[in-house]
Amino acid sequence: MDKQGHLLDASPRPLACFLNDHSRRMSADDPGGGRGRRSVEVDFFSGHKTSSRVAGSPEPPLPPPIKEEDLTINMQLLPAATQKEEDDDDDRSASASGSQQQLQAELGRMNEENQRLRGMLAQVTASYQALQMHLMALMQQQPRKQEQFLNATPIPAAAEQPASNSSTEVEKEDSPDAGGGGPSSSKQALPWAAEGRQLSMRKARVSVRARSEAPIIADGCQWRKYGQKMAKGNPCPRAYYRCTMANACPVRKQVQRCAEDRSILITTYEGTHNHPLPPAAMAMASTTSAAASMLLSGSMPSADNSFLARAVLPSCSSSSSMATISASAPFPTVTLDLTHRPHMPLLQAPPPLYNQSKFSGLHMSSTASSDATRPPIDTVSAAAAAITADPNFTVALAAAITSIIGGGAGQQQHHGQAAAGVNASNNNNNVTSSSNNTATSNSTNSDTQ
DNA sequence: CGCTTTTGACCGGCGC
DNA sequence: GCGCCGGTCAAAAGCG
């Protein structure tokens, strides 16, 4: 726990801060930096972010545009022997021309390095995507551990969160005969339902409360509406969406307006995407999936309710007031409240993106408080999840990389995408080809009640 | 024509 | 066992 806490506490800052700090440090405090300067190291496969330090090895540095200061620094960093040779040279004009040649040679070398670094950057970007998939694969390889965690701490019947078919899913997954012969077996033929392992990832939910007039929040993904119901206790209908970015993506979400304040949109995500996500969707998706996976993997210490809050919302330094635990929900559910700061400019905003989180249904306050009965903490998963879960980091990474590659031309674009993906108040509707206001379409479902 | 939304019906869990 | 409820299905309708 201490390890994880330290790790998580040590990396709350957006990448943009690391970049700025780093370039400042490199130009002033690190004359011995040499190559690999201004590097931002992210070990995507271990999930450890080491960007605040100068790398010992010149591996994955970001390719900076060649600037005057670079040349200046590099000239200062010429080997001592070379400088001594220059001093001993009697022919000053020859020395000057030699210096010029060296300058040009250095420039050429920097250009080559720049090209090389761009290639590396492409690899890093690909690795980032691969990491996402790798994480999902790892999490799906641990359903048993997750089941143990969930089964060892049975969840009380629901009152706060809507009831669900969690136990149904557990049965379907655990018992091989669950799907056989029943009338619902034909329904299992659906592509997403055939992914039985995916069901395990659907037990935890991440709920996002956002103030928005739009029917759904723009999270960068494509969704298809497959149902709408009137939920008890809420005059507003609840809409059910399924991710359509991949054929068998198990991710679903429920969208419902808050009964008390209808300007607040409550979006509940369930599951983990099994496909690469666009940058605009990365922030929200990684946050929700990481939160869900950490809930399921039991990666949070039982004694520290704020652990997950700090992991998922690492920008939040004060955790005492933002993490509460309710044992009344059928699902382990993380609620991210975005309603207090709806227009946070991401890349200029080191302050918390989410200023409040509420944990409901963690059901760990009583039964899981004895650490002896809990499954071991998966440090790597927790760390990787925590890092990828940091929307500031993800968005800043994308924006920083884009700005470096595109020389700022793409920064605005990425900034816009990032904002669209995370700013919950964005009114863009990312539901596929849908202009209907599903939440306000008074097609109240009479259902069979 | 293909895709999405709508909406009534159906299913299973849960409480009484 | 029955009814309530949440979640999902699938045919019909709508849309570009």
Q: Averaging pLDDT over each range in A30-39, A276-285, A378-387, A420-429, which range is the top one?
A: A276-285
Does residue A55 carry a pLDDT above 60? Answer: no
User: For chain A, what percent of residues have pLDDT higher than 70?
Assistant: 25
| Shortest-distance nucleotide from A254 CA to C1' | C7
Query: Using one digit for the tens of pLDDT, what is the confidence trace for A274-327?
Result: 888 877 777 777 666 666 666 655 544 433 344 444 444 444 333 333 433 343
Mean pLDDT of A183-195: 37
Residue A177 DSSP class: T
Strand A237-243 with A223-230, pairing: antiparallel
If one compares A175 and A259, the residue with the highest pLDDT of the two is A259
Separation between Cα atoms, residue A63 and residue A47, nearest integer Å: 21
Q: Distances in Å between the alpha carbon of A22 and those of A77, A114, A352? A: 18, 18, 22
Which bases of chain B are contacted by protein, using any atom under 7 A from a CB? 3-15
pLDDT band per the 50, 70, 90 thresholds, residue A419: very low
Does residue A360 carry a pLDDT above 60? Answer: no
Q: Does the model's pTM come out above 0.75?
A: no
Report chain A's mean pLDDT, rounded to a whole number: 51
Which bases of chain C are contacted by protein, using any atom under 7 A from a CB? 4-10, 16
CA of A168 to C1' of C9 (A): 16
- The 3-state secondary structure of A101-132 reads HHHHHHHHHHHHHHHHHHHHHHHHHHHHHHHH
- Give which of A172, A153, A173, A137 is closest to A298, Cα–Cα: A153
Does residue A240 carry a pLDDT above 90? Answer: yes
Query: Using one digit for the tens of pLDDT, what is the confidence trace for A63-75?
Result: 333 343 333 333 3
Query: Using one digit for the tens of pLDDT, what is the confidence trace for A70-117?
Result: 333 333 333 333 444 444 444 555 566 677 888 888 888 888 888 888
